[in-house]
Amino acid sequence: MSDAGAKRTVGLVGKEHFPSGYLKDVAAIKGAPQTIIYFTHDRPLIEANSVICLTEARRVFMMSTNTNICPERAPKGKHLSGAAAYLGSSLPPLDIKKEVELVLQDLRDNIPGFDKYAQVMRININRGDWGLMKTWPGYTVPVKTPVVGLYTVGDDAGPLGWWCSPAAVMSGRRAVEDITRRYRPA
C-alpha cells in the first residue's frame, strides 16, 4: 500500500509496469495549490483542542492549534498554530503575494489580536504533488493499481464526491477492505 501519491508510486515501481491508460490517468492528476502559515504566540489565540474549520473566510479553510493538546511541540511558554488556505485559483498565473496577504487578513479577521500576539514562523505555498491536496476533485485513480497487490491511497485515489483528507481516509478504507477480502493470513 503506497501513500506517496499515484505519480510517485508509478515512479517508484517504474512506468514499464503500468498500462498506458493508467499512466494517462495518473498524468491527468493536477495538484491543488494551497498556502499554509505556521505561527507562534505567547498565549492561546484559538479556543479549540485541534482543528477549526472556517466558513466565513476568504481563503483559510482550517486552523490547527497543535500545542493545545501537544504542548511539547513548541518551546516552553509558546503555542504553535497553523492555518491552511486555498488559493483563489489553481490556474496560473498565481499572484502569490496577494494570496498570502488574503490569508493573513483572514487570520486577522478571525483571531482577535493576531497582529499583536502572533509571530509568523513560516509560510508555505504548496503546489504540484506536495501539500494537502494531491489532486483536484474528480481527477483520481482507483485504489487498486494494475500491478497485482499494489494499492495507492490518498486524496488522489479517493472516491468521487470526496476530496482532501476525507478522500484519503476513504481510499485507505477501500484498500484495507479489498486487502482483507483477497488476502488471508496463512
Of 126, 134, 182, the closest CA to residue 158 belongs to: 134
Lowest-confidence range among 2-16, 37-51, 135-149?
37-51
CATH fold group of domain 34-126: Polyamine Oxidase; Chain A, domain 2 (3.90.660)
| CB-CB contact of 31 with 130 (8 Å) | yes
179 pLDDT band (50/70/90 cuts)?
very high
pLDDT at 141 over 70: yes
Q: Which one-letter DSSP state was computed for residue 17? A: G
pLDDT at 132: 66
Among 2-6, 16-20, 93-97, which stretch is predicted with the lowest mean pLDDT? 93-97
Q: Give the pLDDT of residue 129.
A: 67
Kindly report whether the global pTM for this prediction surpasses the value 0.85. Answer: no
Q: What pLDDT is recorded for position 45?
A: 82
**pLDDT of 138:** 79
Do residues 31 and 128 make contact, with C-beta atoms less than 8 angstroms apart?
A: yes
Q: Measure CA of the first residue to CA of the last residue in the chain; give whole Å.
A: 19
pLDDT band, residue 130 (cuts 50/70/90): low
Contact 84, 40 (CB under 8 A): no
For 162-173, write each residue's pLDDT tens digit: 877 888 999 999
Average pLDDT over residues 82-93: 81
Output the nine-digit C-alpha cell for 73: 511541540
C-alpha to C-alpha distance for 137 and 157, rounded to whole angstroms: 10
Segments making up each domain of the chain, as ranges:
6-30+134-182, 34-126
Strand order in the sheet with 60-64: 51-53, 60-64, 79-86, 34-41, 118-126
Where does the chain have alpha helices with state H? 6-13, 20-27, 66-69, 96-110, 114-117, 164-182
Q: Is the pLDDT assigned to residue 148 strictly greater than 70? A: yes
